């Protein structure tokens, strides 16, 4: 039982976990408000506003900085991880989503020509983030870390 207690008393872990959870809930609510349709998949799916990836890693980095200081190994590692994750979300994963959209449009044309294809063939389009979504996730994560850890 000590391990479980230790995990939930670890403010860095709690900050990161809440960063993810709160971003996913907000993403689901924002999607519902904009599209007037509730999709449970938004609670675990990638892409959308705000970026839960950014929120998670920024909450972790901010909490590590508050716990160990700006000159610490822990802070350096978490900041570098955050930079890599956010760069990837705006770069490779965003481009993957654009390619998925184009390929899905091509599949639709193929289907309209009377051809059959399995429903699983449709690709995910919402996998990456715009710079604004990443920025909002980062700000959310830092706010959560400050709320959990204080300044």
- What are the pLDDT digits (tens) for 38-71? 877 778 877 778 999 999 999 999 999 999 999 9
How far lies 35's CA from each of 30, 31, 104, 112, in Å? 8, 6, 20, 26
Closest CA to 47 of 130, 138, 123: 130
pLDDT at 90: 79
pLDDT at 71: 96
pTM of the model: 0.77
Q: To which residue do tokens 């802070």 refer?
A: 75
pLDDT at 102: 72
pLDDT at 56: 96
- The pair of three-digit structure tokens given for residue 145, joined into one six-digit string: 């870390």
**More reliable by pLDDT, 3 or 97:** 3
Model confidence pLDDT, tens digit, residues 68-95: 999 999 999 999 999 999 988 877 666 6
Model confidence pLDDT, tens digit, residues 100-148: 677 767 777 766 766 666 656 565 555 567 888 899 999 999 999 999 9
pLDDT at 9: 93
pLDDT at 77: 97
């Amino acid at each position: 039982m000590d391990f479980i207690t230790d995990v939930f008393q670890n403010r860095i872990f709690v900050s990161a976990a809440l960063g993810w959870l709160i971003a996913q809930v907000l993403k689901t609510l924002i999607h519902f408000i904009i599209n007037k349709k509730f999709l449970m998949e938004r609670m675990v799916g990638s892409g959308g506003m705000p970026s839960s990836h950014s929120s998670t890693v920024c909450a972790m980095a901010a909490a590590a900085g508050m716990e160990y200081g700006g000159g610490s190994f822990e802070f350096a590692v978490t900041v570098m991880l955050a930079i890599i994750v956010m760069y990837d979300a705006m770069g490779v994963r965003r481009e993957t989503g654009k390619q998925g959209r184009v390929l899905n449009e091509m599949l639709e044309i193929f289907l309209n020509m009377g051809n059959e294809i399995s429903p699983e063939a449709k690709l995910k389009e919402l996998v990456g983030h715009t710079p604004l979504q990443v920025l909002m996730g980062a700000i959310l994560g830092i706010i959560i870390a400050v709320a959990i850890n204080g300044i």
